[in-house]
Amino acid sequence: MGMSYASGPSVVPLLYKTIGNALDDAAATHGERDALVMRHQGIRLTYTQLAERVTRMAAGLLALGLEPGDRVGIWSANCTEWVVTQLATAKAGMILVTINPAYNASEAEYCLRKVGCRALVVAEGFRSHDYIATILDLVPEACSVPSAALRSDRLPMLERLIVIGHSAHPGILTFADVEAGGNADVVEVLGRLDSTLQPDQPINIQFTSGTTGAPKGATLTHHNILNNGYFSALRMGLTEGDRLCIPVPLYHCFGMVLGVLCCVTTGASMIFPGATFDPGETLRCVEEERCTALHGVPTMMLAMLDHRDFAVAGLDTLRTGIMAGALCPAPLMRRVTEDMHMRDVTIGYGMTEVSPLAFQTTASDSFEQRVETVGRVHHFVEAKVVDAEGRVVPSGEPGEVLFRGYSRMLGYWDDPDQSAEAIDADGWMHSGDLGTMDEDGYLRIVGRLKDMIIRGGENIYPREIEDALLQHPAVQDAHVFGIPDEYYGEVVCAWIRRQDNGIDEEGVRAFCAASLARYKLPQHVRFVDEYPMTVTGKVQKYVMREQMMALLKENTNNHRRENDGPSGAIPDREQRIGHDRSVADRRRTDR
């Protein structure tokens, strides 16, 4: 039997250039091709035009007194200015700090303070969120000083505020003013700067959730994210003739790396349907822009497939794309490949800390491989699956997935302890994910290390139960997690969205019993219409767990008031067996 280790050989060399160099190369090679289409703003730019705007903005940032290595934050939904800022900061050697548009004031303040942003590019607002009012609450000094003299007590490093839009705000520059502010002398400085910037320098800080609740700033280089965009594009088969629809958010690696940089490195066109995901707008975008590729998490694909306009949408130009962020059930994959015409769609897996993809399927992989696995390791990346002692496990056995290679982050910004916890002494990045690797190197994710359920001493992997549930025709999707139990320590809980009412709670258990050991059967089942989600479409199992525990506690209290006795949280059969039997005895019975 082989061991759970794989490395990604390649006949295609790594790119060793800065993002600014890559954009200049794209403009020289694909100058008059569409580079950027931002439909909700009515903006279309060729690669030549995009490169010109990026150069102007980079020069404008330098003219403000910002320098290479300075951190520049951006707080906005998808827009042209976001892409220009991403590429302009890279061209000027500055570090772009991406801030989640859904963050509230305290979260945004934490990010800005943590990395010491000297400038912030901010939208006026989005939906009900007034970003300008939020920022002025944090730095009220902006209202009483010129934009060039901002000094804040709460954010002492923050010196420049730049608004996306044309409205005047006290103490805040407009994006257009900055873009127009770089004169010929500054552009010349920018040109000389180009030869001094190095691909291994940090260029982006992406905030990810921390175990203590405080976000951690994954620090990424030109070399990290430019190559990850390039090799992800190769797995998709993306070329200069492709038009990639990007409904995923730019603040996340999915948008800025797998979207923008996939296109810059191949000459493909980046097409944005709107400021944020809307299934109807995305369908219209694909049809009207003749898109050949589409990115999204599975919930986005499902929303488009179930949209009222789907039946009349012209999607026959689609061929490829990336689905990532969650497992893709077989029925959904079949609908995506057949009904959406995405026959070559790839499944991607990784984490922000590895830029983000480490595994990806290809068009030549079978349907089963694209549903049951996340493909094989990326070019120039190593991966292994290890046990609790750090030993590589035999093929097919579960363990934690680790990565090493060009794509691994430098570390978490100003957080050496968290960095050392995530990256071991040999340079391996610990993912916190549980997986199995077969002898051909295909990786299957079975859950999160912290999500593994330990029931009466038995390890249970939620993905195995989710896969079993998805075989039922009445189950649209399912998510499984553990909740505390006085007797077993933890028990299995399943939240299920149904296609119809063709299954009830007892039916769930009966169906699972045909393929799973009894101890793996869901003790608690809840049917829902939707799941708590992040803005990037990831299901928040910890929120589900908290809600389910609160619901069970409420039901327990109500039951006790009604019956003046135990809640009945343990199934009737368990009550009949009694509580005096040992856990070992129960485990034998459960099997």
Tell me, what's the pLDDT at 528? 97
Tell me, what's the pLDDT at 251? 96
Q: E strands of 141-266, at which residues?
A: 160-164, 173-174, 202-208, 216-221, 243-245
Residues 6+ apart with CB under 8 A from 243: 34, 268, 269, 271, 289, 290, 291, 292, 293, 317
Contact 46, 35 (CB under 8 A): yes
Tell me, what's the pLDDT at 150? 87
d(CA 323, CA 333): 10
Q: What residue has token string 């910890």?
A: 542
d(CA 70, CA 85): 14
User: Looking at the domain that runs over 17-27+46-198, which CATH code has it been given?
Assistant: 3.40.50.980
Tell me, what's the pLDDT at 555? 86
pLDDT tens sequence across 56-80? 999 999 999 999 999 999 999 999 9
Tell me, what's the pLDDT at 447? 82
Question: In the chain, where are the structural domains located?
Answer: 17-27+46-198, 452-590
Q: Which CATH fold would you assign to the domain 452-590?
A: GMP Synthetase; Chain A, domain 3 (3.30.300)
Tell me, what's the pLDDT at 570? 35
| Count of alpha carbons within 13 angstroms of residue 449, beta-carbon side | 13
Q: How far is CA 79 from CA 43, 181, 182, 285, in A?
A: 10, 21, 22, 15
| Count of alpha carbons within 13 angstroms of residue 439, beta-carbon side | 2
Which residue type sits at 149? A
d(CA 556, CA 345): 46
pLDDT tens sequence across 462-510? 989 998 999 999 999 999 999 998 888 899 999 999 998 899 999 999 9
Residue stretches of the chain with pLDDT short of 50: 210-212, 565-589, 591
| pTM reported for the whole predicted model | 0.86
Tell me, what's the pLDDT at 535? 66
